Copies of this chain bind each other. A is one copy, B any other.
Amino acid sequence: MNARDDKALSGEDRLIAKYFRPLAKHPGALSLNDDTAVLAPPPDHDLVITKDALVAGVHFFANDPPGDIARKALRVNLSDLAAKGATPIGFLLAIALSDTKEEWVAAFAKGLGGDADAYNCPLLGGDTVTTPGPLTISVTALGSVPKDKMVRRDGAKVGDIVLVTGTIGDAALGLALRRGAKWKLDNAQGEHLENRYLLPQPRNALATALRDNASAAMDVSDGLVGDLDKLCRASHVNVTIEAALVPLSAAAQAALKSDPKLIETILTGGDDYEIVCTVPPGKLAAFHAAAKAAQVAVSEIGTVAAGEGARFTDADGKPLTFARPSYSHL
């Protein structure tokens, strides 16, 4: 991404200069005037890097507000940094535009810049191209953690407590509503679920609490069932969760009441961007206190046991089985 401010600017350079350069507040972005960004993580810190892609019609609706599309693209990456206990440094954006209307780009950049400021994660660089297909976005987010302190998936130990942030299933239900599902919900409940799909709430406020206390963590993006299973397998442990202990919003509870089969959508649908983590018993009080200070709700949902993988049960201990335990693109 590079830009300059004069009359000889191409359309691409002009859009970048006008809408994206103001977001490039990191000195290492070199005002988007070079081939690359350049930076160093803070002394005695590791760099944490994640990259997600979003496609119109797959990860969001093409007619969603452009500012919200931008924010979702950044937030799904911020969620990965949060789960790893990392502090955001900045991000790179590659965008393949299918609609080059300037007002769309302006609204996209405005949403992006708002979140870049809110999460202290400035634009570092990237690439702007056009596509004959759907709008496609890739964000690469960089963060830092004190050396060797990244919270990995493979550190869960037998006896650790399993916790999850916020509420699970809202976004998957919101997506179903967007696709025309009808349940007994009032307007506010429907809106709550749809908003949770439109705009994730990454738990970056919890990063320090996780770094100081969690033995393992990951963000819940492909559904709690599949993601917790991945964490358990990486750690070579078992977790058995009674489904009723999984925190649900009032809206999700209402939807589930109107159709009990929705438990599968809730637990496996994905797009939650909550964090599931394990905390040793000796650090549990400190973790709860830190989460409270960070104003992030956390719920205990189980205990790590010997074994391999995650299981979910009903109130009688009977295993729940799911047609598709985890969101998969292929």
Contacts and interface: CB of A to CB of B under 8 A. Distances in A.
B100 A325 contact: no
A33 B51 CA distance: 14
Nearest to A50: B36
Interface of A: 2, 4, 6, 8, 10-13, 15, 30, 33-41, 45-55, 57-59, 80-81, 83-84, 86, 92-98, 100, 124-134, 136, 138, 140, 142-143, 145, 147, 150, 152-154, 218-219, 226, 229-230, 233-234, 309, 325-326, 328-330
Given A10-B330, A34-B84, A53-B127, 6 more contacts: A37-B50, A39-B47, A40-B147, A58-B130, A129-B329, A133-B136
A274 to B, nearest CB: 13
Contact of A92 (B12, B51, B58, B229): B51
User: Which of A34, A126, A152, A229 counts the most chain B CB atoms within 10 A?
Assistant: A34
Interface SS of chain A: helix, strand, loop or mixed?
mixed
A127 B10 contact: no
A38 B48 contact: yes
Contacts of A39: 46-47, 49
A92 B132 CA distance: 24
A204 to B, nearest CB: 13
Contacts of A55: 96, 129-133, 136
Contacts of A125: 49-51
Contacts of A219: 35
Given A36-B49, A96-B55, A127 B138 contact: yes
B130 A133 contact: no
Nearest to A141: B36
| 3 tightest A-B CB contacts, nearest first | A133-B133, A10-B328, A11-B330
A2 B328 contact: no
A143 to B, nearest CB: 8
Given A34-B218, A96-B55, A129-B329, A49 B8 contact: no
Nearest to A10: B328
B33 A48 contact: no
Contacts of A329: 11-12, 97, 128-130
A96 B47 CA distance: 26
Contacts of A129: 53-55, 58-59, 329
Contact of A127 (B51, B126, B128, B234): B51
A51 B233 CA distance: 32
A219 B36 CA distance: 11
User: Which of A41, A50, A51, A136 counts the most chain B CB atoms within 10 A?
Assistant: A51
Contacts of A100: 330
A142 B50 CA distance: 12
A86 B38 CA distance: 10
Given A136-B136, A145-B38, A53 B95 contact: yes
Nearest to A147: B40
A94 B36 contact: no
A34 B136 contact: no
